[in-house]
A and B are shown apart, each in its own frame.
Chain A
């Protein structure tokens, strides 16, 4: 895209140093005989300026990993760091501030507040913090996402793909250290999926954005720089420069 503003304050960083990492992260639900180890000593790093996909069959713990990393859920033991801040040491208000300032979210569904317009949804975090919104960046994002003419509409007046693109704009508007995308294309058809994935890819390539994407679709994982495979709460493999086929193959191997 031609109209990309210069990002002098944060040039694309070198692909080194983690945006987030987990150390022996463990999450146990329930207790005693019915205890379920959703995460079982996970050690993982998510590099800055990269798109990392987290894959695994359902129940593998990939969503739990994301929730613990994002400070939405508290781990049973182990540590999670975002921007070298240990999440377990933060209280609720510090966590809230962290989410507002440093992390962006894209969920599978229900990403938008129905009473707010697309624009208000995009600027919600900044408004909550009482921060000014970078209008140039806003215009760039909505232009790039092809929702510039829809910003005055309520979510109910937008298509599923448009809603998800609004969610992407909201995740990026604050230039967070890290974006967590939880099955961002889970509810979309293939065309809309591709558009969202291409945009996320572009955000990494053009603006050095760090993104962690949880998915179970090999085609989606193929957009990533690296795929981390999870099974039964453990990291069981990893793939660099994946293609849909290599991801599929790896998954088959893990199943077998």
Chain B
């Protein structure tokens, strides 16, 4: 039986190839993601391991806030620094050979053109220890910083921006900006930079002053004397530490860092894998369809096998073996291509400035196992239903031509399943929407997909007829024939279109969500802000800027908006803070109960209505809170406001906020001007020009920026979904080729009675366009529905407006038709090239 299967496979090479293509693409994506992820992980592990291999222990402030809540823990903010005296005390302990403290913070270079280099978030400043054994930074050229005005810069930045030793560079710092002389070039361990960050190393004293840490260290690294009992030394150090400080091994610090990086990278991998699985899901339609059609075409052959004694089981296994072998072959190719893709992706990351130390690709045993399992699994599972159909063929079908598709009962079951799933989906969606639970909405969406796939064959024929109407009118007989062909086997048309349908549904969902996000941003800004200008600067607007701007002529009010994290009743939350003078002229704070400005000025806590409801807070509630630097305290709820996306859920006054944060960061500066203020624009920009990070935007520009960000994200998702659409297109090509093959005789007859080659081509194209439009229409309708559902389920997370991007959706429809036309080109050519006589003679 296996021999029969293999023979069959070889004689249908083309079909095999097309079917495999869908799997190849999916497996390539999976493999590429896994290899890239492993390689990045290994690279960082090596890097971090190298840095901490000489550090026996590290002393640091205890983490005051635990990471439970809706925001991740920012470890640098959540640990208090340690007094400098601790280092001296620990250094005197008998087992300790040496210890040294260090500090770090924000330090961003300003390039020769006056533009800030890199992002503010990746601008890392360090205290640089010249002892090569102690520092993560290795000096490769020049000297260590010797004075308060010297700095060492990482090699990557130096090379990329053509900096030289001795050159004077301006740096943006937490308290303003200063000019330094480059004294040397450093590397981070073995890497020329730390994954695209810019590094600046200062003398310890200088660093302490720059980063607001005079007399304190962020961390103290400890080296133990040779031969000393490490456990005993650690115990001794722990005894010498003040409350709020802890001592951990260098290994533990490295592991923590690894963990942080791994979870960051795994987010990336997961995102990529989701798209890989979407394209595999779409690919499974192609496989299902191919096998269903081939089983249909081979009815006689399969029946003959039954006549000569093949058992049902053997036939079933035979079809599944064919699928598994196809999957195996495709997975192997995909595995190879995936490695190539990983190399390409890594190079791409490098091009985006995420330069990584060159390291060999990591190919873990898990990668081929997953790739093969996924590839073979998807192919085999998709072939189960066709295999069962093959088994149901009675032996007598070898002798008499039976109508292959006698599945009225199946169709009824399909309708029942579809109806049941639709009902379930409706329940889930309604429940999810009412309670704004995105998980339920997602589950509902999945049900909608399956229900659509189950129900679509029922509407395939009438819908294809309707869609083909205009085509038939334009193209005449070929169009009419194409239209009839498309509704000839509704199930096949539906399956083929199903792949595109899923792709288009996802694209439309994202488009609707994106459009809703964009209009929400517009609404939010007008409903939350009355300021005329918004000054932002990558989280690092320094306090002095606030003063400068507020003194500008024409300014009616300025408000500084701060942001930090605190712990509320055991969960980590974002806390916003605003300066209270002139607040009512810049922020529209819609107070529902309690007080606004007076409560803020008095250091009370304001919460939004949602939070008040879910946490059971009301005016006068006293809430236990914890701050990273000042520890536990309580706050009184002084007011409740309507949800304001720009302010967040928790708000307090700036004075209270500054008292509890060592490194306050101003997120934005809101500026209101007196009525007509000509040339204010220029004056404001002139004041801000000292810090290239600072950008003044009008409200319109601010909205535009937000929308651009949304569009950028949309673009990225579209690119990733394009793969799924590509796979769907392959499915159309496949089905059409099979149909053309099946209708060889018919095409021959058409040619014999006078159909021109071009008319044959248009007949096939018409069918393809109808199939594609069918998938697109259903997909866009389903996707729009899901997008609206998703958007409204996110209404508590900032999606306050619903919007359907009609233009984009029409563009998708047109694009689908063009894709169909493209998919038809090969099958159409094959059909037109058929030799008339051969076609007539074909049995």
Bound pair (A, B): yes
Q: Report the minimal beta-carbon distance from B359 to chain A, rounded to whole angstroms.
A: 60
| A105 in complex: contacting residue of B477, B481, B752, CB < 8 Å | B752
Q: How far is the CB of B151 from chain A (nearest CB, A)?
A: 78
Q: Does A246 interact with chain B (Cβ within 8 Å)?
A: no
Task: Identify which of B30-38, B41-49, B65-73, B755-763 touches chain A.
Answer: B755-763
Of B481, B484, B485, B754, which contacts A129 at CB under 8 A?
B754
Q: Cα distance A128–B485 when bound, in Å?
A: 17
**Interchain CB contact under 8 A, B753 and A125:** yes
Residues of chain A within 8 A of B477, CB atoms compared: 124, 127-128
Q: If A73-B837, A93-B756 touch, does A127 touch B751 (CB 8 Å cutoff)?
A: no
User: Which chain A positions have C-beta within 8 A of B836?
Assistant: 72
Interface-central residue, B749, B754, B755, B757, by most chain A CB under 10 Å: B754
| Residue A107 is within 8 A (CB to CB) of chain B in the complex | yes
Please give the distance in Å from A173's CB to the nearest CB on chain B. 11
Chain B residues with CB below 8 A from A9, complex form: none
Cross-chain contact of B754 among A112, A116, A128 (Cβ < 8 A): A128
Distance in angstroms between the alpha carbons of A127 and B476 in the assembled complex: 8
Q: Please tell me if the beta carbons of A113 and B840 are within 8 angstroms of each other in the complex.
A: no
Give every chain A residue within 8 A of B484 (Cβ-Cβ).
115-116
What are the residues of chain B within 8 A of A72 when measuring CB–CB?
A: 752, 836-837, 840
B712 on the interface (CB 8 Å rule)?
no
On whether the beta carbons of A115 and B756 are closer than 8 Å, the reply is no
A101 adjacent to chain B (CB < 8 Å): yes
Could you tell me if A99 and B840 are in contact, using CB atoms closer than 8 angstroms? no
Any chain A CB within 8 A of the CB of B488?
yes
Q: Mark B739-750, 1 if CB is under 8 A from A, else 0.
A: 000000110011
Tell me which residues across on chain B come within 8 A of A100, comparing CB atoms.
Answer: 753-754
**B485 surroundings in chain A (CB, below 8 A):** 115
Q: Which residue of B lies closest to A117 (CB)?
A: B484
Beta-carbon nearest neighbor of B759 in chain A: A128
Which of chain A's residues have a CB closer than 8 A to the CB of B749? 107, 110-113
Q: What 11 new A-B contacts, CB under 8 Å, besides A70-B752, A113-B750?
A: A93-B756, A100-B753, A110-B840, A115-B481, A115-B484, A115-B485, A116-B484, A120-B480, A124-B477, A128-B753, A128-B754
| CB proximity of A104 to chain B, nearest CB, Å | 8
Closest 10 A-B residue pairs measured CB to CB? A100-B754, A115-B484, A127-B477, A125-B754, A72-B837, A73-B837, A99-B754, A125-B753, A96-B756, A128-B754
Q: Once bound together, how far apart are the Cα atoms of A101 and B753, in whole Å?
A: 9
In whole angstroms, how far apart are the Cα atoms of A73 and B748 in the complex?
12
| Given contact pairs A72-B840, A73-B837, A113-B750, A96 touches B488 in the complex (Cβ within 8 A) | no
Task: Quote the shortest CB–CB distance from B404 to chain A (angstroms).
Answer: 13
| A189 on the B face (CB < 8 A) | no
- Least CB distance, A202 to chain B, in whole angstroms: 22
Question: Inside 8 A of A96's CB, which chain B residues have their CB?
Answer: 751, 754-757
Q: Which of B476, B745, B752, B759 has most chain A Cβ within 10 Å?
A: B752
Contacts of B480 in A (CB 8 A): 120
Q: What's the nearest-Cβ distance from chain B to residue A125, in Å?
A: 5
The answer to whether A101 and B754 touch across the interface, beta carbons within 8 angstroms, is yes
Q: Which residues of A contact B745 (CB under 8 A)?
A: 110
Q: Which residues of chain B have C-beta atoms less than 8 A from A116's C-beta?
A: 481, 484
The chain B residue sitting closest to A63, CB to CB, is: B841
* Residues A113 and B476 in contact in the complex (CB < 8 Å), given A124-B753, A128-B755, A170-B753: no
Contact: A114 with B746, CB < 8 Å?
yes
Is the C-beta of A92 less than 8 angstroms from some C-beta in chain B? Answer: yes
8 CB-based A-B contacts, threshold 8 Å = A72-B836, A93-B757, A96-B756, A100-B753, A112-B749, A128-B750, A129-B754, A130-B476
Is A44 among interface residues, defined by CB-CB distance under 8 A?
no
Q: Closest Cβ of chain B: how far from A157's Cβ, in Å?
A: 13
CA distance A70 to B749 in the complex (A): 13
Query: A97 contacts the other chain (Cβ, under 8 Å)?
Result: yes
**In the complex, chain B residues whose CB is within 8 Å of the CB of A112:** 749
Contact with A along B469-513 (1 / 0, CB 8 A): 000000011001100110010000000000000000000000000
Q: Is A175 an interface residue (CB 8 A)?
A: no
Interface string of A68-110 (1 = CB under 8 A from B): 0010110000000000000000001100110111000101001
- Minimum distance in angstroms from A99 CB to a CB of chain B: 5
Chain B nearest CB, measured from A127 CB (Å): 5
Contact, CB under 8 Å: B754 / A113? no
A37 contacts the other chain (CB 8 A): no
In the complex, the answer to whether A97 meets B837 with C-beta atoms within 8 Å is no
Whole-angstrom CA separation of A127 from B746 in the bound complex? 17
Residue A207 interfacial (CB < 8 Å):
no
A97 touches B840 (CB 8 A): no
Contacts of B488 in A (CB 8 A): 114-115
By a CB distance below 8 angstroms, the chain A residues around B757 are 92-93, 96
Residues of B within 8 A of A111 (CB): 749
Question: Are B750 and A97 closer than 8 Å at their CB atoms?
Answer: no
Please, which residue of chain A has its CB at the minimum distance from the CB of B488?
A115
Asked if A67 is at the interface (CB within 8 A of a chain B CB), the reply is yes
Bound-state Cα–Cα, A40 to B754, Å: 28
A170–chain B nearest beta-carbon distance, Å: 7
The docked-state distance in angstroms from the alpha carbon of A107 to that of B110 is 85
B753 — which chain A residues lie within 8 A by C-beta? 99-100, 105, 124-125, 128, 170
For A170, give the chain B residue with the smallest CB separation: B753
> How far does the alpha carbon of A70 sit from the alpha carbon of B754 in the complex, in Å?
12
With both chains docked as a complex, state the minimum distance between the C-beta of A42 and any C-beta of chain B, in angstroms: 17
Q: Given the known A-B contacts A99-B752, A105-B753, are A113 and B481 also in contact in the complex, defined by CB atoms under 8 Å?
A: yes
- CA A100 – CA B759 in complex, angstroms? 13
Residues of B within 8 A of A129 (CB): 754
Question: In whole angstroms, what is the CA distance A100 to B750 when docked?
Answer: 10
Q: In the complex, what distance in Å separates the CA atom of A3 from the CA atom of B488?
A: 38
Closest beta carbon of chain A to B488's beta carbon, Å: 6
Which of A100, A112, A130 is the most central at the interface, judged by chain B CB atoms within 10 Å of its CB? Answer: A100
Tell me which residues from 119 to 158 in chain A have a Cβ below 8 Å from any Cβ of chain B: 120, 124-125, 127-130
CB distance from B770 to the nearest CB of A (A): 13
8 Å CB contacts to A: which residues of B248-299?
A: none
Residues of A within 8 A of B750 (CB): 113, 124, 128
A9 → chain B, closest Cβ, in Å? 21
Which residues of A have CB within 8 Å of B756? 93, 96, 128
How far is A26 from B63 in the complex, measured between Cα atoms in Å? 97
Report how far A247 CA is from B447 CA in the complex, Å.
72
With a cutoff of 8 Å between Cβ atoms, the chain B residues found around residue A114 in the complex are 488, 746
Closest CB-CB distance, B520 to chain A, in whole Å?
A: 49
A114 CB to nearest B CB, Å: 7
Residues of B contacting A115 with CB < 8 Å?
A: 481, 484-485, 488
Residues of B within 8 A of A120 (CB): 480
CA distance A97 to B749 in the complex (A): 14
CB distance from B178 to the nearest CB of A (A): 81
Q: Cα distance A73–B756 when bound, in Å?
A: 16
Cα of A127 to Cα of B759 in the assembled complex, Å: 12
Q: What are the residues of chain B within 8 A of A92 when measuring CB–CB?
A: 757
Q: Is the CB of A113 within 8 A of B752?
A: no
A73, A96, A114, most chain B CB atoms within 10 A = A96
Residues of B within 8 A of A127 (CB): 476-477
Taking CB as reference atom, which chain B residue is nearest A102?
B754
Contact A97 B476 (CB under 8 A): no
Residues of A within 8 A of B755 (CB): 96, 128
Are the CB atoms of A107 and B840 closer together than 8 Å? yes
State in angstroms the CA–CA spacing of A190 and B86 once bound together: 114
Q: Min CB distance, A141 to chain B, in Å? A: 16
The docked-state distance in angstroms from the alpha carbon of A44 to that of B315 is 54
Residue among A99, A101, A130 with the most chain B CB within 10 A? Answer: A99
Residue of A nearest to B752 (CB): A105
Q: Return the CB mask of A159-186 against B: 1 if under 8 Å, else 0.
A: 0000000000010000000000000000
| CA–CA, A120 and B480, complex, Å | 10
Q: How far is the CB of B736 from chain A (nearest CB, A)?
A: 16
A72 to B835, CA, bound (A): 9
- The CA of A197 and the CA of B262, in the complex, are separated in Å by 84
Q: With A and B bound together, what is the CA distance between A125 and B481 in angstroms?
A: 13
Query: What's the least CB distance linking A191 to chain B, in Å?
Result: 23
